[in-house]
Amino acid sequence: MRILDVLHRDTIIDNLNSTDKKGVLEELVTPVARISGINHESLVRVLMEREHLGSTGIGGGIGIPHGKLKDLKSLILGFGLSRKGVDFESIDGQPTHIFFLLFTPANSTDLHLKLLAQISRILKNESFKEKLLNAADIDEISSIIGEEDVDF
């Protein structure tokens, strides 16, 4: 499986407007809620509960908010780009620009961890991150991810 196998074009946001953590989560969740039919507030609540355990702002301008849902049938992935950067309480204290949003079924720990590892791996590539930050639109973001994407 590849990232683009689960990242739907409709869940890519090429210009997040929010200026704080909760706002970014609400914005990222909006297309996911629409596509999945899952209540928007429930999705945000799952993410905020996870954030209370420790920030998913992993540093280097990257955030990977994620959560598990018991009634979810398959994983859902979203992407957001904040051109201005957001205080996401990142471990390095720097603004966060690149967000991958992940929801997985509660019983799919292996898949959850594999996808998190794949996303983390490609985001270690500084050239890749720079290309994402400079992407003009959703199509370019998808193309850039596709260039780095391999089976996980």
Three-state SS string over 91-146 comes to: CCCCCEEEEEEEEEECCCHHHHHHHHHHHHHHHCCHHHHHHHHCCCCHHHHHHHHH
At 64 the pLDDT is 95
Cα–Cα distance for residue pair 45/2, rounded to 1 Å: 27
At 1 the pLDDT is 79
At 152 the pLDDT is 62
At 43 the pLDDT is 96
CB 144 within 8 A of CB 132: yes
Domains of the chain from N-terminus onward: 3-148 (3.40.930.10)
Cα–Cα distance for residue pair 15/51, rounded to 1 Å: 22
Q: Give tens-digit pLDDT for 56-98.
A: 999 999 999 999 998 888 899 999 999 999 999 999 999 999 9
At 93 the pLDDT is 96
Residue ranges of the chain whose pLDDT lies below 50: none
Catalytic: which of 52, 66, 97, 112? Answer: 66
CA angle 4, 7, 10 (to 5 degrees): 130
Tokens of 133: 């930050």
Is 66 in the active site? Answer: yes
Beta bridge partners of 67: 103
Q: pTM for this structure?
A: 0.94
